[in-house]
């Protein structure tokens, strides 16, 4: 398998859906949920593992969607909010690629390897490697550092 690891953001590493009023914010063009979402995993541990895997030759990407009905302006603001979130929570990580794309773009058209994603549909459509849910991100990454 290719040494590529891909992370979704919303619901996978960022608790976007745990932000009260997130859906109303999206309907009103407010990027607040993307700005204040809490991490879903220990970011210090995640950063160390990502950095270690990159030294072992892994490519590490973010593949995330903007809001379903976002116009160009809102999409641009969402992208900026997500980039800021990544910088705030994973500032020691230099991702190889950050794909923040329109909702519905097939993630498998952007990369291959391992995908971590909370959405079952994205995992089922992932035909370029192995797709995992969000339950064991840290343990799976630890096992990769030992292989």
Domains and CATH numbers, the chain: 4-145 (3.40.50.1000)
- Using the structure block, give the residue that is written with the tokens 């997130």: 22
Strand partners, 99: 63
- In sequence order, the 6+-apart residues with CB closer than 8 A to the CB of 108 are 125, 126, 127, 128
Q: The whole model's pTM is what?
A: 0.96
Q: Which sign does the torsion angle of CA 120, 65, 39, 1 carry?
A: positive
| The pLDDT of residue 55 | 97
- In sequence order, the 6+-apart residues with CB closer than 8 A to the CB of 43 are 89, 90
| The pLDDT of residue 1 | 67
DSSP state for residue 41 in the 8-state scheme: S
Which positions of the chain have pLDDT values less than 50?
Answer: none
DSSP H helix total and E strand total for the chain:
6, 5
Q: Which sign does the torsion angle of CA 50, 46, 40, 84 carry?
A: negative
| The pLDDT of residue 56 | 97
């Amino acid at each position: 398998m290719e040494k590529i690891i891909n992370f979704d953001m919303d619901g996978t590493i960022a608790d976007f859906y745990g932000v009260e009023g997130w859906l109303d914010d999206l309907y009103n063009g407010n990027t607040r949920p993307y700005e204040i979402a809490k991490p879903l995993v220990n970011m210090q541990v995640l950063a160390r593992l990502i950095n270690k895997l990159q030294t072992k030759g892994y490519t590490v990407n973010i593949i995330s969607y903007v809001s379903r009905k976002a116009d160009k302006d809102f999409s641009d603001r969402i992208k900026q909010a997500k980039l800021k979130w990544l910088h705030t929570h994973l500032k020691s990580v230099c991702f190889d690629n950050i794909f923040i794309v329109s909702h519905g773009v097939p993630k498998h058209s952007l990369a291959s390897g391992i995908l971590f994603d909370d959405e079952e549909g994205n995992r089922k459509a992932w035909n370029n490697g192995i797709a995992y849910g969000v339950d064991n991100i840290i343990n799976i990454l630890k096992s990769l550092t030992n292989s």
